[in-house]
């Protein structure tokens, strides 16, 4: 299988991205960090397609949210953040060249950051950005693949608290470690104080992780993974992480 990534560098308007932190974003530094992120994707064997920045959408560098590919279908999302609506229309034609597309319709909302894709099922976070109507539409779109809802509290997205590493293994914050939905899976818990580092991008034998969280990186390496760390401080200011910055899909060779 060929693994592809759609990415969009942050434009000047990224300074106005949605943020719960209130921290000033250094756009030039963010653009440099995005280049390093793309380098890490390529090092992991991913084919990277770089789309142009779109100044109309300050958050549009977070490519994971407006669309995702699951089970050979392109799910065109409907962002819960009103200022982000329209981003999905930028990427839908690109995905439509490779996959059948299914659009989430009002009143449903769905953002890719709430979708945890495992090998045999999908978990979707019901959050401030993704509602029950959106989850039901995703369930119908992916049938017969099981889609299960999980309540997200205190986090922006489900993937802010748990990500999939492959090989039946999750990386999670303590609050998600004991979830009954994850029974039978191995759950690695990020060390206290490194909760942000639970958002990692698993790419087979390689994982891309945020720079600056050495205990989490060491734990992943001990688990047999090649760990590529990248600086993402400016994206963290906008509540984003390493999964947020790319829309990953695979195509048969």
Provide CB contacts within 8 A for 68, sequence distance 6+.
74, 75, 77, 112, 115, 117, 247
State the residue for tokens 């992916």: 142
Query: Catalytic: which of 157, 198, 222, 223?
Result: 157
Question: Alpha-carbon distance 240 to 135, whole Å?
Answer: 22
Question: What DSSP line would sit under 43-85, residue for residue?
Answer: HTT-EEEEPPP-TT-TTTT-TTTTEEEETTEEEE-B-SSGGGT
244 catalytic? Reply is yes
- Secondary structure (3-state) at 37: helix
**Best CA proximity match to 116, nearest among 85, 141, 152:** 152
38 catalytic? Reply is no
Query: Catalytic: which of 38, 61, 198, 244?
Result: 244
- Secondary structure (3-state) at 162: strand
- Give the catalytic positions in this structure: 157, 244
């Amino acid at each position: 299988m060929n693994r592809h990534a759609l990415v969009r560098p942050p434009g000047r308007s990224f300074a106005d991205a949605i943020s719960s932190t209130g921290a000033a974003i250094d756009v030039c530094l963010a653009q440099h960090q995005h280049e390093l992120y793309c380098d890490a994707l390529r090092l992991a064997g991913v084919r990277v397609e770089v789309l142009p920045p779109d100044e109309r959408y300050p958050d549009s560098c977070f490519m994971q949210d407006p669309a995702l590919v699951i089970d050979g279908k392109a799910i065109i999302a409907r962002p819960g953040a009103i200022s982000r609506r329209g981003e999905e229309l930028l990427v839908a034609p690109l995905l439509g060249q490779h996959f059948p597309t299914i659009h989430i319709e009002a009143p449903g909302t769905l953002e890719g950051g709430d979708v945890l894709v495992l090998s045999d099922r999908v978990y979707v976070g019901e959050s401030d950005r993704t509602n029950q109507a959106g989850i039901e539409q995703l369930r119908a779109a992916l049938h017969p693949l099981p889609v299960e809802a999980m309540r997200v509290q205190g986090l922006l997205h489900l993937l802010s608290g748990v990500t999939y590493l492959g090989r039946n293994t999750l990386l999670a914050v303590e609050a998600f470690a004991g979830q009954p939905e994850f029974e039978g899976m191995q759950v690695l818990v990020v060390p206290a104080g490194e909760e942000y580092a639970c958002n990692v991008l698993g790419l087979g034998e390689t994982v891309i992780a945020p720079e600056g969280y050495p205990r989490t990186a060491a734990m992943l390496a001990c688990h047999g993974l090649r760990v590529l760390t990248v600086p993402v401080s400016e994206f963290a200011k906008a509540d984003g992480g390493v999964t947020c910055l790319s829309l990953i899909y695979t195509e048969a060779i």
